[in-house]
Amino acid sequence: MQSTNPTPSSRANSLGAKHLRRVALLLTVSGWLTAVMTMGWTLGLWHLVGWQAALIPFPGVPAGLLAVWFASRGHPYIGGAIQCGALCTVVCLTCLFLDQTTAQMPRTTHLFLVPLATGMYMGMRGSVAAPVRHALVGCVFLTFVVLACTSFGAQPDHNLPDALRIVGGKINTVAAAVAMYVAMHIMQADVEARNAYEADLREAVRTGQLMLHYQPQVDQDGRVQGAEALLRWHHPRRGMISPGEFIPLAEKSGLIVPMGEWVIDTACAHLAQLARHPGTAHLTISVNISVHQIRQPNFVVRAMAAIERHGVDPRQLKMELTESVFARDMDDLINKMKVLKQYGVSFSLDDFGTGYSSLAYLKRLPLEQLKIDQAFVRDLLTQPRDLAIAKTIIELGNTMNMSVMAEGVETREQRQILESMGCRQFQGYLFGKPMPLGALIELTTQAAPAAHVFTPPEPAADPLCDTPLHA
Binding site for ligand C2E (CB under 6 A): 215, 230-231, 242-244, 247, 260, 263, 288, 290, 320, 350-351, 374, 407-410, 428-429, 434, 464-465, 467, 469
Element (H, E) at 38: helix 15-48
User: Burial letters for 12-35: b for 16+ Cβ neighbours within 10 Å, e otherwise?
Assistant: eebbeebbbebbbbbbbbbbebbb
Say which entry of Mg ion, ligand C2E, none residue 231 contacts (CB below 5 to 8 A, set by partner kind): ligand C2E
Say which entry of Mg ion, ligand C2E, none residue 469 contacts (CB below 5 to 8 A, set by partner kind): ligand C2E
Provide the mask over 383-412, with x wherever binding to Mg ion is found by CB under 5 A and - wherever it is not: ------------------------x-----
CB nearer to ligand C2E: pick between 140 and 259: 259
Query: For residue 413, what are the β-bridge partners?
Result: none
End-to-end CA distance of the chain: 30
Q: How far is the CB of 321 from ligand C2E (least distance, A)?
A: 10
Q: Return the axis-axis angle of helices 412-420 and 384-399, rounded to nearest 10°.
A: 50
CB nearer to Mg ion: pick between 190 and 320: 320
CB nearer to Mg ion: pick between 251 and 407: 407
Q: What single DSSP character describes residue 97?
A: I
Specify the stretch interacting with Mg ion by CB under 5 A; choose among 129-137, 293-301, 350-358, 439-447: 350-358
CB nearer to ligand C2E: pick between 230 and 271: 230
Q: What single DSSP character describes residue 322?
A: -
Q: How far is the CB of 203 from Mg ion (least distance, A)?
A: 26
The Cα–Cα gap between 461 and 149 comes to 63
Q: How far is the CB of 6 from Mg ion (least distance, A)?
A: 21
Q: Which of 351, 380, 435, 441 binds Mg ion (CB under 5 A)?
A: 351
Q: Which of 261, 323, 350, 462 binds Mg ion (CB under 5 A)?
A: 350
Residues 266-295 interacting with Mg ion (rule: CB under 5 A): 288
Cα distances from 46 to residues 33, 42, 60, in angstroms, run 20, 6, 15
The Cα–Cα gap between 440 and 227 comes to 8
Q: How far is the CB of 42 from ligand C2E (least distance, A)?
A: 50
Query: For residue 3, what are the β-bridge partners?
Result: none
Say which entry of ligand C2E, Mg ion, none residue 290 contacts (CB below 5 to 8 A, set by partner kind): ligand C2E
Q: How far is the CB of 428 from ligand C2E (least distance, A)?
A: 3
Contacts with Mg ion: how many residues (CB under 5 A)? 5
Q: Which of 190, 251, 261, 320 binds Mg ion (CB under 5 A)?
A: 320
Cα distances from 197 to residues 24, 30, 211, 249, in angstroms, run 20, 27, 18, 9
Q: Is 276 exposed, middle or buried (0-12, 13-18, 19+ CB in 10 A)?
A: exposed
CB nearer to ligand C2E: pick between 40 and 244: 244
The Cα–Cα gap between 224 and 226 comes to 6
Q: How far is the CB of 250 from ligand C2E (least distance, A)?
A: 8
Say which entry of Mg ion, ligand C2E, none residue 408 contacts (CB below 5 to 8 A, set by partner kind): ligand C2E
Q: What are the residues whose beta carbons fall under 8 Å from the beta carbon of 395, sequence distance 6 or more?
A: 422
For residues 443, 446, 451, 455, the Cα torsion angle rounded to the nearest 10 degrees is -40
Q: Is 348 in the site for Mg ion (CB under 5 A)?
A: no
Residues that bind Mg ion (CB under 5 A): 288, 320, 350-351, 407
